């Protein structure tokens, strides 16, 4: 039996009267909810008692709280297999809190709603070239998309408890976008520009709006949707820019200032092609979407990012020699950079996401070849290279899922609002 620890705040004698009795309830709510969230099949109250070491009476009281607060629901009973009435299993509720995931990218806006059980309940992507649009206008369009998502959530009985917005750039802790080079944004105060819009309901402990790098949220989307088992991985978002999200032990590694994952600017040919960052020979100049399109003879086609990937995949499938050569070159450059990352971080899984996902059949072989050749430990520990489960646009889903995760981690904040 796994031990469970109940914690109580200890105070000095002068504040002994202030011991927080609530903290025990808070912990038990979280333990039981996490148990339900992590279960392979809906557990009964008795299963939870056995698995946590809590008494059945405590479990029943906690489950009643969670059901009353629309965090947990009773599943349909399992088919009768033996004598007696089967116990009803418990599942995460599909009509309680939900997360709002938003994305502003170079050529589209997106909004999605994910419920507590992790199901995507609404997802709209609106195509638009946002490069000539001011940040204020782009965010006004996004706010309209968010209002639609909010209405769609309400129609399904869901309450938006928080939002996360993905931006392809460097974001400060306060939501200030320092630089989004491919959007042409610099020092854009996103929370201030969105302040007039009510996106979500206030919930204690859940920020109303988190602004985060797109590649980071895409990695969280993969953690949410991908095959279980790989709790540490590198997720690469291949678009016009190339970003990466690093997940270590199930948590996003954000770096000292939240600016990790700029894999597109790893030098792969130190004195090679100049990059718009001011450096030379950056990976982005060898494996970024514009470069691959140009090498495949599609330069200037002004294709939206996901259309571009689909178009390249179609050409590759048809055996177009220029496209196949372009993808082989891009895959080799990508493999050089990823070999450096694996030598440094000793990761066993690399996920090709964003625009790379549909191109994985052609990018994967050269990446795998470079890893075999360049990773010191390749002989003992093969690295899995696979396409992302969500493919392109996992960032909005990852953002919404990150909101939901906050509620599962600390349900008392949601319950305190009156549910």
Decide whether 149 or 326 has the Cβ nearer to a second copy. 326
Q: Does 53 bind a second copy (CB under 8 A)?
A: yes
Q: State the Cα–Cα distance between residues 194 and 183, nearest whole angstrom.
A: 18
Q: Which residues contact 134 (CB under 8 A, 6 or more apart)?
A: none
Among 94, 157, 207, 267, binds a second copy (CB under 8 A): 267
Q: Interface with a second copy includes 260 (CB under 8 A)?
A: yes
- Residue 167 or 339 having the CB closest to a second copy: 339
> Using an 8 Å Cβ cutoff, are 208 and 195 in contact?
no
Q: 368 in helix, strand or coil?
A: helix
The pair of structure tokens assigned to 219 is: 């990695």
Binding-residue total with a second copy (CB under 8 A)? 65
- The whole-angstrom distance between residue 128's C-alpha and the CA centroid of its chain comes to 23
Q: Find the binding residues for a second copy in span 1-20 (CB under 8 A).
A: 1, 3-13, 15
Min dist. Cβ of residue 3 to a second copy (A): 5
- Under the binding rule (CB under 8 A), the answer on residue 246 touching a second copy is yes
> Residue 400 carries which DSSP code?
H
Residues 130-149 binding a second copy (CB under 8 A) are none
8 or 156, CB closer to a second copy?
A: 8
Stretch that binds a second copy, among 61-69, 134-142, 248-256, 303-311 (CB under 8 A): 248-256
Nearest CB to a second copy, comparing residues 184 and 259: 259
Residues whose CB falls within 8 Å of the CB of residue 7, separated by 6 or more in sequence, listed in order: 23, 24, 27
Q: Per the structure block, which two tokens stand in for 405?
A: 């995760």
Binding residue for a second copy, selected from 167, 170, 171, 385, defined by CB under 8 A: 170
Binding test (CB under 8 A) with a second copy, winner from 36, 339, 352, 397:
339
Distance of closest approach, residue 127 Cβ to a second copy, in angstroms: 27
d(CA 386, CA 222): 11
Residue 147 Cβ, how far from a second copy at the closest point, in Å? Answer: 34
Give DSSP secondary structure letters for 300-365: T----HHHHHHHHHHHHHTT-HHHHHHHHHHHHHHHHHHHHHHHHH--SEEEEEETTGGGHHHHHH
Degrees, nearest 5: CA angle 23-25-26: 60
Nearest approach, Cβ of 264 to a second copy (angstroms)?
A: 8
Min CB(211)–a second copy separation in Å: 16
What is the CB neighbour count within 10 angstroms for residue 287? 29
Q: Is 251 a residue that touches a second copy (CB under 8 A)? A: no
Q: Which of 336, 352, 360, 408 binds a second copy (CB under 8 A)?
A: 336
Binding mask 56-95 for a second copy (x = CB under 8 A): ----------------------------------------
DSSP assignment of 240-303, as one string? SSEEEEEEETTEEE--SSS----GGGSBSSTTSSB-TTS-BSBTHHHHSHHHHHHHTT-TT---
* Chain contacts with a second copy (rule: CB under 8 A): 1, 3-13, 15, 49-50, 53-55, 170, 178-179, 232, 244, 246, 248, 253-263, 265-270, 277-280, 282, 336-337, 339-341, 343-348, 373-377, 380-381
């Amino acid at each position: 039996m796994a031990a469970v620890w109940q914690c109580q705040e200890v105070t000095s004698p002068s504040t002994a009267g202030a011991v927080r009795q609530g903290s025990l309830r808070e912990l038990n709510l979280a333990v039981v909810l996490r148990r339900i969230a992590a279960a392979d099949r809906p557990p009964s109250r008795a299963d939870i008692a056995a698995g946590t070491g809590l008494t059945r009476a405590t479990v029943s009281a906690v489950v009643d709280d969670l059901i009353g607060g629309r965090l947990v629901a009773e599943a349909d009973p399992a088919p009768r297999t033996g004598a007696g009435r089967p116990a009803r299993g418990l599942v995460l509720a599909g009509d309680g809190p939900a997360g709002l995931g938003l994305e502003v990218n170079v050529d589209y806006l997106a909004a999605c709603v994910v419920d507590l059980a992790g199901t995507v309940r609404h997802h709209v992507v609106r195509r638009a070239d946002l490069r000539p649009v001011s940040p204020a206008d782009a965010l006004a369009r996004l706010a309209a998309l968010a209002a639609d998502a909010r209405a769609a959530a309400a129609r399904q009985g869901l309450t938006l408890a928080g939002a996360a917005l993905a931006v392809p750039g460097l974001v400060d802790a306060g939501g200030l976008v320092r630089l989004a080079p491919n959007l042409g944004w610099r020092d854009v105060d996103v929370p201030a520009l969105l302040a007039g819009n009510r996106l979500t309901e206030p919930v204690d402990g859940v920020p109303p709006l988190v602004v985060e790098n797109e590649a980071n949220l895409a990695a969280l989307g993969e953690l949410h949707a991908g095959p279980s088992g790989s709790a540490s991985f590198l997720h690469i978002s291949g678009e016009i820019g190339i970003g990466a999200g690093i997940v270590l032990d199930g948590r996003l590694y954000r770096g000292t200032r939240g600016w990790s994952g700029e894999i597109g600017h790893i030098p792969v040919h130190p004195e090679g092609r100049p990059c718009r960052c001011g450096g030379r020979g950056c990976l982005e100049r060898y494996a970024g979407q514009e470069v691959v399109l140009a090498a495949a003879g599609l330069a200037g086609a002004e294709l939206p990012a996901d259309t571009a990937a689909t178009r390249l995949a179609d050409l590759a499938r048809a055996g177009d020699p220029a496209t196949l050569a372009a993808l082989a070159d891009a895959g080799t450059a990508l493999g050089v950079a990823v070999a450096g990352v694996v030598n440094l971080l000793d990761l066993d899984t690399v996920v090709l996401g964003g625009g790379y996902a549909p191109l994985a059949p052609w990018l994967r072989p050269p990446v795998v070849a470079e890893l075999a050749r360049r990773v010191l430990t390749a002989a003992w520990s093969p690295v899995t290279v696979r396409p992302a489960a969500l493919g392109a646009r996992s960032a909005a889903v990852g953002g919404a899922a990150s909101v939901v995760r906050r509620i599962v981690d600390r349900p008392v904040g949601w319950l305190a609002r009156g549910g």
